[in-house]
Every structure is written in C-alpha cells, then in structure tokens.
Amino acid sequence: MRRRLVRLLLAALVAMASFVAWDVHTPSRVAWQPAELQGIPVERAEGLVLQHERGDEVYASEGWSIYRSHAGGAFEKVYTLVPRVGEAWAGFSSLLRRQFGYQELVEVLPLGGDEVVVFGGGDVYRVDLGSGEQERVHTLRYFGRGKGRGVMPHGVALAADGTIFYGEYPTTLGGPPYTVAIWRGEDEGRRWSPIHEFAAGEVRHVHFVEIDPVDGALWIGTGDRSPESRLGRSTDGGLTFTWVGRDSQDFRACSLLFFPGLVVWGTDNDLGENHFLRWHRDDARVERTDARLPSPTYYTQAVDSELGVLASMEKGAAVYAVAPEGEPRPVVSWTMPAFRPDRPHPGVRLARQGPGPVAAHDWILVNPLRTVEEEAAIVRLPVGRVREAAAGPAPSAVGGR
C-alpha cells in the first residue's frame, strides 16, 4: 500500500513538473506561416507581441522572452528576461497571460548590435544579447497594483544620438495628487534622470514619447481628461516644450504619424467622438478634419514618407491607411470580444520605429491582441493593399468590421 502511494505521489509530481515546464515554455523559433485575412494573403507569427522595428531587424516578445527577426526571416529567441522575484513571475505562465490578457510584459528598445534596454516588471534593464547578461539600471516610480503599468508601449523612444526617453504612466484615480515626469537615459541607459516634471494634478499620465524623424524634435502627449490632455514638442532634448495644443480631447493622443509637411494623429477619446487631426509644419496650424474614427487610436507607424497606418484599440481592432493630405481609410479589422473589465483592451498594436530611415519592405507588420480571432499574433500585411486603401475614394464614415 505504501509503495503504491509513493508511486502515485511520484507520478503526480512528474505530471506537475511536466505541466509547469509546458506552461512556462516559449519556443526557440517562431516561423512565418501563410494565412488569409479578409481575402488578403498574409503571413502570421503566432503568439508574439510586436516591439520595435529598426532597419531590417524586428523585435518581438512572448511573455518574458525576447525574439528578433532579421531581413524578414523567422523570429529567433535571443533572451529571456528574469525579473525580480514577486508577482511578475506569474508572467512566465502562458495560461495566466491568456486568462488575464497580459501579453505585453516587456517593452524592448534596441540600442544597436546586441545591446537592448528592456522595461519589465517595474524595472529597466540593460541586456547584452551576445553574452546573456542583464543589469537592472532603473526602477519605475509607478508600477504595480494601485499604481499603473509604468510606461506605455509608445512611451519610450531612442534619439539618433543614443539618448533614451520615457514618460511615466500611472493610472491611479483618487487619492493625493502626484507628479508625472519625462525621464532621460544616458550612457546607453546606465544613468537615468527626470528632465521635465508636471506639477501634481496637472496631467494623469504620459501617453507617448516620440522622436520626429524630420527634424529630431521630441514630442510627447498626455491625458486623460481635457484639462490633462496636451501635445507638445521640444527642440532642446525635453527641457522645455512648446504646446501644439492642450485642454481638449483633440490633443489626447497616444502616437503621432510624421510626414515631411505634416504631423497627424487620431484621438484617444474613450467617452466621446474620435477625430483625425493634422499639424502643419509651415505655420504650426492645427486642422481638425471631417473624418470620424469609431475607436480610439493607440498606435501609428510610417510605411514611407508618403504613407502610414493608424491602429485602433478599445472599441475596435482595425488598421487604417493614411496619406499626408488624405483621411484614414480602413484596411483590415478583427472582431472585438465581449467586454471584460479584468483584461486589457483588445486592439491592434504597431511597432515602434527608428532611429534612422524606415526600411523599405513589401509588407507592414500589425499585431492584433485579445481579439476573437487572435489572442496574440504578428501579421505581415502586403504594403500594396495599404496603398490601395489609401488611394481609394474618401469614405463617408471611417469604420471597421
């Protein structure tokens, strides 16, 4: 009887160990697989979250694992971050990530070569992908339960001179007012300091920090209520800002699209109408177009100097093509699931870019997350279809499926 119990206990332990190994496993390689999306031939990389595109290299993640694709090839796992022991370790579980929708555990910023800066678990790390060494260099002020996610995906940026910027993203409501800062990382992310701080109660959080590829200016956007919403640009590395607009939902944005003569954006108004606006470089004029977007715009990405895309979240998961003087035209969309308050918003994520020129490809990468069709996947969409949509007739109303 005792031997039987011992055998049963050993079998249970082996089964448990096998389950844990399966649950925390991430593949060493994720290949592109042919698929079809709304009649369009595409390719998919299953299970990945899109991170950063720099030249011919694309970075992605699955859980705490970091992947890299070169020249359009398969994604190869190059590192798995080990955060500090605590709640963050639940992110190793694929079942928990899917159950609660927390696919975006890290934000990866490649510095060039094998050096990357990784935001994860409330800390900032320098990682040498060649040697496999990680160094914790900074801790976010606002991360965790009751504080927020620390930083937004487009809230980190790398300037051409190697300077890193990020904006704080607390989500606290109620309680005492708090300050919110823009931070600068120097010496390849080894030293961090706040360079611009909003007074307590002035803004809720920073939505994005981006470098203008046309003139090198640093742009930021904040939210969420109208008195907290503003768009600004800095030509002195973030020490001072000129506000393009403020105190209106027109200036509540999560990412910008930069063209030689214009900067454009869709708004992030979760409670009202969403508009499409342009800022004219020649005279600093802000123009609100007649276009209406059915959902908040979270992400943008340039295809080249004459074409870009917007991606929506929250109320819709869709990709829109945008030409400099045109209005957003829908390209593809995914089905929204029933609302769940315990999960982050469904939608489509796009890659951060730069520094340097946008690489010319026959495709653009889009990343549906938490939709009915896709929990997480990177989709390689033909650029030709995006151009066709951008050149099509102006829609009476912009919408997705």
What 8-state DSSP symbol labels residue 359? P
- Give the β-pairing of 49-54 and 352-353: parallel
How is the beta sheet containing 65-70 ordered, strand by strand? Answer: 29-30, 75-80, 65-70, 57-62, 49-54, 352-353
The span from the CA of 361 to the CA of 358, in Å, is: 9
pTM over 0.95: no
pLDDT for 396: 45
pLDDT for 112: 87
* CB of 318 closer than 8 Å to CB of 298: no
Statement: residue 395 has pLDDT above 60: no
Phi, psi angles (nearest 5°) of residue 301: -155, 140
What is the average pLDDT score of the chain? 92
Half-sphere exposure of 34 (CA within 13 A, CB side): 2
Q: For residue 315, what are the contacts with CB-CB under 8 A and spacing of at least 6? A: 270, 294, 295, 296, 336
Single out the residue of 239, 189, 195 nearest to residue 217, CA to CA: 239
Q: Poorest-confidence range of 27-41, 172-186, 313-327?
A: 172-186
If you average pLDDT over residues 354-369, what whole number do you get? 91
**Residue 397's pLDDT band (cuts 50, 70, 90):** very low
The 10s digit of each residue's pLDDT in 48-76 is 999 999 989 999 999 999 999 999 999 99
State CA 145 to chain mean position distance: 21
- What is the b/e burial string over 166-200, where b = at least 16 CB atoms within 10 angstroms of the residue's CB? bbbbbeeeeeeebebbbbbbeeebeebeebbebee
The span from the CA of 136 to the CA of 138, in Å, is: 6
| Dihedral angle computed from the Cα positions of residues 307, 253, 234 and 353, in that order, rounded to the nearest 10 degrees | -40
Q: Domain locations in the chain?
A: 141-391
The 10s digit of each residue's pLDDT in 209-224 is 999 999 999 999 998 9
pLDDT for 392: 80
Question: Topology of 141-391 in CATH?
Answer: Methylamine Dehydrogenase; Chain H (2.130.10)
pLDDT for 175: 73
The better pLDDT of the pair 357, 269 is held by 269
The span from the CA of 271 to the CA of 143, in Å, is: 25
Q: Which helix (H) or strand (E) holds 108?
A: strand 106-112
